[in-house]
Chain A
Amino acid sequence: QKEVEQNSGPLSVPEGAIASLNCTYSDRGSQSFFWYRQYSGKSPELIMSIYSNGDKEDGRFTAQLNKASQYVSLLIRDSQPSDSATYLCAVKDDGSYKLIFGSGTRLLVRP
């Protein structure tokens, strides 16, 4: 059973701080990794994808991938109250195009 693990949280950070969200995955053959943001009652919104080892930056977001450790993380700099949401880590299944999701980490940014 291929799995994606996330801490359910909530992760509480003050406004302006860096929020660090982590994810581990079981399938060593996985190649593509994604972070989605989901507000309560809404659908997931893609915020970052990463394919190669290392860091990928997009505005206030940085995704980090370490395939040897089977670990993906998302850093949110200068966190804002509007960043408060559930963040879903997803991994593209090796040999398929389906995504395997973690259960999400709930982030609370305190004003």
Chain B
Amino acid sequence: DTGVSQDPRHKITKRGQNVTFRCDPISEHNRLYWYRQTLGQGPEFLTYFQNEAQLEKSRLLSDRFSAERPKGSFSTLEIQRTEQGDSAMYLCASSLDHQPPYEQYFGPGTRLTVT
């Protein structure tokens, strides 16, 4: 059973460019989550999907951010017109939630640096 995978692992981009990250969840996991983590802080929720439906988005998620999970399998997170404040580790997690406690398993993350 392979874990959550993310691609790329590192991304350096110039301010104003668009970037897209991919996440492949653990197979058969129906929920997929995106978090962002900056140095010294815990992960901060961005959005999550149940199958292909995006059920919740953080109020912190500006309209420059968009996420999709078109077939209920992998997901993409796009950031348009990147800003230096977008520099962070972007984490994807997945869960299979038939019953509590609804454990989430994280991928290795994508580290974004905006110069």
A residues engaging B (CB < 8 A)?
Answer: 4, 31-34, 36, 42-46, 49-51, 88, 90, 92, 96-104
- Is the CB–CB distance between A101 and B95 below 8 Å? no
A49: chain B residues within 8 A (beta carbon): 101, 103
A-B contact pairs, 26 of them (CB 8 A): A31-B100, A32-B101, A33-B101, A34-B101, A42-B108, A43-B89, A43-B91, A43-B108, A46-B103, A46-B105, A46-B106, A50-B101, A92-B101, A96-B56, A97-B31, A97-B33, A97-B50, A97-B95, A97-B97, A97-B102, A98-B56, A99-B43, A102-B42, A103-B40, A103-B42, A104-B42
Give Cα A88–Cα B50 distance, bound, in whole angstroms: 25
A32: chain B residues within 8 A (beta carbon): 100-102
Chain A's closest residue to B58 (CB) is A98
B109 on interface, CB distance cutoff 8 Å: yes
- Is the CB–CB distance between A43 and B107 below 8 Å? yes
Among B83-115, those with CB < 8 Å from A are: 89, 91, 95, 97, 100-109
B109: chain A residues within 8 A (beta carbon): 42-43
- Is the CB–CB distance between B104 and A99 below 8 Å? yes
- Is the CB–CB distance between B40 and A101 below 8 Å? no
Chain B min CB distance to A1 (Å): 11
Chain A min CB distance to B24 (Å): 14
B44 on interface, CB distance cutoff 8 Å: yes
Q: Select the residue from B31, B33, B97, B100 with max chain A CB neighbours within 10 A.
A: B100
- Is the CB–CB distance between A44 and B43 below 8 Å? yes
Q: Select the residue from A33, A43, A45, A90 with max chain B CB neighbours within 10 A.
A: A43
- Is the CB–CB distance between B91 and A44 below 8 Å? yes
